[in-house]
Structure 1
């Protein structure tokens, strides 16, 4: 099937600085094309199609994003339409390519182990498909920012809980119901610790999509042109008033009681993104691995496709830790799968120091970056103490991390960084407290060695 959509069509329909599949944005190293994956899933056929497309039309490099999508870098001038056509032919685009907004609004984050995690309260697979269809079918949603995002949490142990979302739902048990409810919140994350904001209401799984549609329409009803995210709306309207508005529009009566307000989600465990863990069927396993700094090339992508094909029923999924997960691995294939991932250059254990650092594109690909963060992160990794995690950001935008890392090195000049520390990954603003300024990478390593945070029960979420 051939697609005749042109990259210029997306820009005309929906001007934005945010890249998409249908809107390729220029950067220092060429064009950027962002491919949004439904639930982070990528079939072997699609992986091979991307590998071929980036070899022919781009730099051969792919970055896994912190929302479990793929960012194709170095798109060659004049190759934009050919790249878009190849991706659409592989089934990687929105349901309706005539509307650029349909690509922009496909922002639903779930666990990479959805449907497989043995600790999950609810399999969110079908609900995710419902939400994605909803988002792409309502033309009013063209007004949403490409960054407007939803989270659907089934209670999995492997779940990113520190990325704030405009709307979040999280499965919770309820003493009066056999099936879990979905607690709900705005402009944040599910509550885990006592100091986190509480969920106010909950809805049933059968009402969730209807309620979501009403919530988004409520946002569009109440927002001014300057209000691009739910957090902007909350500066003028209370959460309760927004909920009641959505209830009237949807006919859904949200559930309110003390148990919902007191509910706290079980902590997640980001370390489960690495290595092998038994799935909910008690037989097969999911296996996770981390590419250095979330970046892979076409050869690695082909290797991952081959691994997926070699394991019957396996699926390949990207994760918000900028890593990969292979599900449904037969026990007999476990050791071989882990060895092949390592042979592709991916880390399968937290003992690998490259699992402790994340970094943005840096000055080789981004004009806003003050330093070559990728190269500096590779140099730093070997010196990062165990149980310490560091984020290198070339500018204050923090593109590589949607949350606050325990330590952040913010570039201020080529090879020079200010070092920040925080104890709260959900801190809404800034990088935490500045503890040193103008450090070289070697100096930063010395400071980290001297001031590393002690181990905690909360794993690092990159």
Structure 2
């Protein structure tokens, strides 16, 4: 049985390097305290979890915590409200196969795939075999525990269902040239950016290792993200050094097709003759009954797995077409949101003041009030409610942000690529009801985007 230090490492294991980038982020082996108790983050390989594993998550959330299970914006799960005696919660999760290969590798298994990897109709190739290689190396490489828990890699297979607005320290994206598979790649950005170069698919793993090792060679301990390093070392210099470690080629005139994020809710065709069924988790929060119910559906009507998404939703993959409507209806009965036309399905809210000491407002409750208001007005808007400027609930800038300034009061921002932060300030110190009046007075506002 593993026994853990405050850093989240077993007492007999420490990273080999003296360069440690501490983190306040929760992990499976590091429970972080909040106002509503401890938080444990379970990192899922490619966002996927087996039904039996989901049952274990539901069980420990009920037995050792407050029963709240969160779907995160990087397709992981969190358990909130954990009481004292963390080992009692952690050990069943480890026994279910939800832990890292090595304890010190827990923080760094940050690899995002499309939730539809391997089944998407638009994918250029299946990224999962390469993802498995990368995940093993992230957890077992002797130097990679030096990476920050926020350091992240994205592997994109060209799927229609893909979150490409989240910036990653290294991204790789599929392309096919003369019938051969390649990977375009870039640093400190996303596949929507201009790539820095390309490598054959067979060199994808070597590229990831080379980039991460070079980052560790060059970055100071306080430079925890690739963008911090590139602010000091020119991108061209980094690429020149990288080319000495792995052969690179230029990637000219390539542009990633735009994804379709609405594909994470509803019934959608796979590349074969089956479908996947998606449903949004209301404001990112499940309870044990919801998770168990979804797991049971996956056993009976799917392939026995669930896939979580960066939109805080879940997919039941590999469903027969004739069963799809039944699966969708049962997900709705469980309390999940099964249509993009449901206002709550388009809202993002952080933990808020009920669980976070930094939040200035109860964002979850205010988001539900906003959803009811929008329902009455017949509107569906993509809005992010943030309790403080840290923007924990959204890894990208949403089209509209409500930033809390006091309990029940928010500043209203519209995303603007020319402006930093949340964008352009539109109104100050609005209540939710006042926002409704503002919407009535601005019927053709950018909120409709």
Q: TM-score range by the shorter chain?
A: over 0.9
Aligned 8 A contact 2:51 2:304 in 1: no
Question: Unpaired runs of 5+ in structure 1?
Answer: 192-196, 457-462
Alignment of 1:101-120 (within 5 A): 102-120=105-123
Shift of 1:331: 1.2
The partner residue of 1:92 within 79, 94, 98 is 98
SS at match of 2:327: helix
SS at match of 2:373: coil
Question: Which consecutive segments of 4 or more residues in structure 1 shift more than 4 A?
Answer: 11-15
Alignment of 1:159-238 (within 5 A): 159-174=162-177, 177-191=178-192, 197-238=193-234
The partner residue of 1:299 within 289, 293, 297 is 289
TM-score under structure 2 normalisation?
Answer: 0.94
Aligned 8 A contact 1:362 1:373 in 2: yes
- Measure, in 1, the Cα distance between the counterparts of 2:247 and 2:90: 43
- Measure, in 2, the Cα distance between the counterparts of 1:28 and 1:413: 18
Aligned-residue CA RMSD in angstroms?
Answer: 1.6
Shift of 1:328: 0.2
Aligned 8 A contact 1:29 1:366 in 2: yes
The partner residue of 2:414 within 409, 421, 435 is 421
- Measure, in 2, the Cα distance between the counterparts of 1:397 and 1:405: 13
Q: Which moved more, 1:105-114 or 1:304-313?
A: 304-313
- Measure, in 1, the Cα distance between the counterparts of 2:37 and 2:121: 42
Aligned 8 A contact 2:28 2:41 in 1: yes
- Measure, in 2, the Cα distance between the counterparts of 1:180 and 1:387: 39
Equivalence for 2:431: 440
Aligned 8 A contact 2:156 2:172 in 1: yes
Aligned 8 A contact 1:5 1:85 in 2: no
Question: Unpaired runs of 5+ in structure 2?
Answer: 15-19
When residues 150 and 448 of structure 1 are mapped into structure 2, their CA distance, relative to the original with a 3 A threshold, is farther
- Measure, in 1, the Cα distance between the counterparts of 2:338 and 2:73: 18
- Measure, in 2, the Cα distance between the counterparts of 1:368 and 1:159: 31
Shift of 1:455: 5.2
Shift of 1:188: 0.6
| 2:84 pairs with 1:77 | yes
- Measure, in 2, the Cα distance between the counterparts of 1:217 and 1:42: 29
When residues 34 and 377 of structure 1 are mapped into structure 2, their CA distance, relative to the original with a 3 A threshold, is same
- Measure, in 2, the Cα distance between the counterparts of 1:327 and 1:209: 27
When residues 296 and 454 of structure 1 are mapped into structure 2, their CA distance, relative to the original with a 3 A threshold, is closer
| 2:385 pairs with 1:392 | yes
Aligned 8 A contact 1:214 1:247 in 2: no
